[in-house]
Amino acid sequence: MALSAIWGASFALIKVAVDAGVPPLWVACWRCVLGAAALWAILALRREAVPRTAATWGHSAVVAVLLNAAPFVLFSYGETRVSSVLAGVMNATTPLFTLLFAVVTVAEERHPGPRRLVGLGLGFAGVLTVLGVWRGLGAGEAAGGLLCLAAACCYGAGFAYLRRHLAARPYSATALSAVQITCGGAELAVVAPFAAGAPHWPGPGPAAALLVLGVLGTGVAYILNLGLVRTAGTAVAAAVTYVTPLWSTALGALLLAEPVGWNALVGGLAVIAAVALTRQPTVPAARRKARQPVG
DSSP H or E segment with residue 263: helix 262-278
pLDDT in tens, 271-283: 888 877 777 654 4
At 26 the pLDDT is: 97
pLDDT in tens, 60-99: 999 999 989 999 999 999 999 988 888 888 888 887 787 7
Closest of 223, 225, 220 to residue 244, by C-alpha: 225
Mean pLDDT estimate for the chain? 83
Rounded to whole angstroms, the Cα distance separating 148 from 104 reads: 23
Handedness of CA 269, 274, 276, 277 (dihedral sign): positive
| pLDDT more than 90, % of the chain | 39
Q: In sequence order, which residues have a C-beta less than 8 Å from that of residue 294 and are 6 or more positions away?
A: none
pTM of the model as a whole: 0.83
At 156 the pLDDT is: 82
pLDDT in tens, 124-160: 788 778 767 666 555 567 788 889 989 989 988 887 7
Q: What end-to-end distance do the CA atoms of the chain give, in Å?
A: 44
Band of residue 289 on the pLDDT scale cut at 50, 70, 90: very low
At 69 the pLDDT is: 95
At 291 the pLDDT is: 44
At 32 the pLDDT is: 96
At 96 the pLDDT is: 79
Would you say residue 294 has pLDDT above 50?
no
pLDDT in tens, 30-47: 999 999 999 999 999 999
Would you say residue 110 has pLDDT above 70?
no
Would you say residue 292 has pLDDT above 60?
no
Rounded to whole angstroms, the Cα distance separating 239 from 87 reads: 19
Closest of 96, 76, 99, 204 to residue 212, by C-alpha: 204
Q: What is the DSSP letter of 134?
A: G
pLDDT in tens, 184-241: 999 999 999 999 999 999 999 999 999 999 999 998 887 887 667 566 655 555 567 7
In terms of phi and psi (left: phi > 0; alpha: psi -120 to 50; beta: otherwise), the region of 257 is left
At 2 the pLDDT is: 85
Closest of 4, 159, 18, 10 to residue 87, by C-alpha: 10
At 231 the pLDDT is: 67
Which has the minimum average pLDDT: 104-108, 123-127, 250-254?
104-108
Instruction: Determine contact, residues 36/109, Cβ cutoff 8 Å.
Output: no
